[in-house]
Chain A
């Protein structure tokens, strides 16, 4: 059995107000502790902002600047530039945002920061919807998922943000999952050592938003990885693909069946999603093989 091990310097503090069993809090714990003390973060309005702390308490030992929903990458850029002007080029600037603040309203600022190759580490906690506002669809919501604004299931696919970012040719884009904490920590370490814009998209199964039991978010995330719905991989310089999990060991249905938001699916819909996942997996294999 592979043992989990990441450094915990207690940079993420107990007493935060994430839901019981929330793996966004778990991911934040891994990421903040891996990045270390010499870091400043921005956080966009999201569950992450709530988790970071309500005044006057802070769950983080590093300074966090709460910014507006669409401004994550721009705010992080501002901090980085200020630190550069102060002769602190090595301080990591983290940009924490949800999928709404990344795929949707924050995409413009992120694209611009990526184009400028600002030296920031952008973490997208992707729970595939506006979960902090009660669960509405975002452009990250997958096909057929029920949300507060897609009560009959979303009729379009999830936006492929990774490919959009790859087109910016930034040093590193990676996916990470709270079911694979060593992989997550390794990616954060790697990103920390690189200069330029790094983006890590972390899949966050949302307990109330996805209809997942309090103790099942890690399991759900693991199934997402193992079914290929959310493959773990890296894209370096926009062109070099590396798959971190090379085998799919679960059916897509085993993943979908964990979640209330897919309870309504017909067998045909499951098949369609499986076919989509198969096709994307083949494309990734092709990319990883050097095209």
Chain B
């Protein structure tokens, strides 16, 4: 008993000369005190004062924090981040680490996957900002989507063009409000399309003559210098290759295509009233990809870029853990007839559990503090929708008006959220050592 006590005390005592120990610890203590403890305590203190820092306001900064809709959105986004991002990165890291273990150029492969970690978050943010740009001429993702899309769907001949007037727009296209019977003529002046983009085959348009059992007409671009709206002017060109439909009582009875001079003819018609329709697929706007950085997709997009950056980190740690697993355990399982999937599920993962947990918790801490990526990737118009706590803290403190009281309150809340994860990690490290 006494022996045990003495033994334990010998661990706890600083040694023969406590004075010397304190001397050695002093620099570290001073630095820690000045750079960690003092700011922490001061932030707590500051969070009870108003914007100017002179008036004590009690908990009202905290009340404001929890009633500000912007902060609530930031909270929601942080929850999404914590739920999705660390799990995704840990799983991806595990899968890639196990897979790369078997290949010949494992180190080279891992090195490449680790490279994003070497780029600053700010720079990565700029890269992804460009990758997800909406304009397909600048954004790689939308360029790829447009490329794939256009292989399967050919673009419409006259995107964006529309009749000048006297037409009802519907999902099917533009239907003329006036009706026509056989022998009649319809003129369809279109606008909203650039003359420079017309096909070379386009010829000047002329007024068709009425007569016979036919309905004749012309579709032309009603834009020219000094041109009269709705009238055929000398310099105006017909629109070739445009589909025109003839309707009776809402049903398509005939379909034709315009010639180089924009003229079309529906031959051999019976009696009755018809209307003319320009189907919508003549004018469908080209596919431009998705608005990745719009309000709905912005958070998933930023999370995806974070996953790209952090996967290398997870692989490195998990691969180190993998190499520490005793080979014989795996061999024994295989000898017992376990499939590779069973070996992975029943042996590898349980043996890796401590490593996986450490990686996961570290990522959670990292995710809670996420700032740069959101700041750089989200355009100003959706920053509110993409907001996270750390960014909100910065904006409240420095970005807008400088209310460092509320900012400090947010900092303390963020600290309280991160602290459990930190404590958990520290305790685990200690347990592992003992």
Q: Do A and B come from one complex?
A: no
Chain A residues close to B by CB (< 8 Å): none
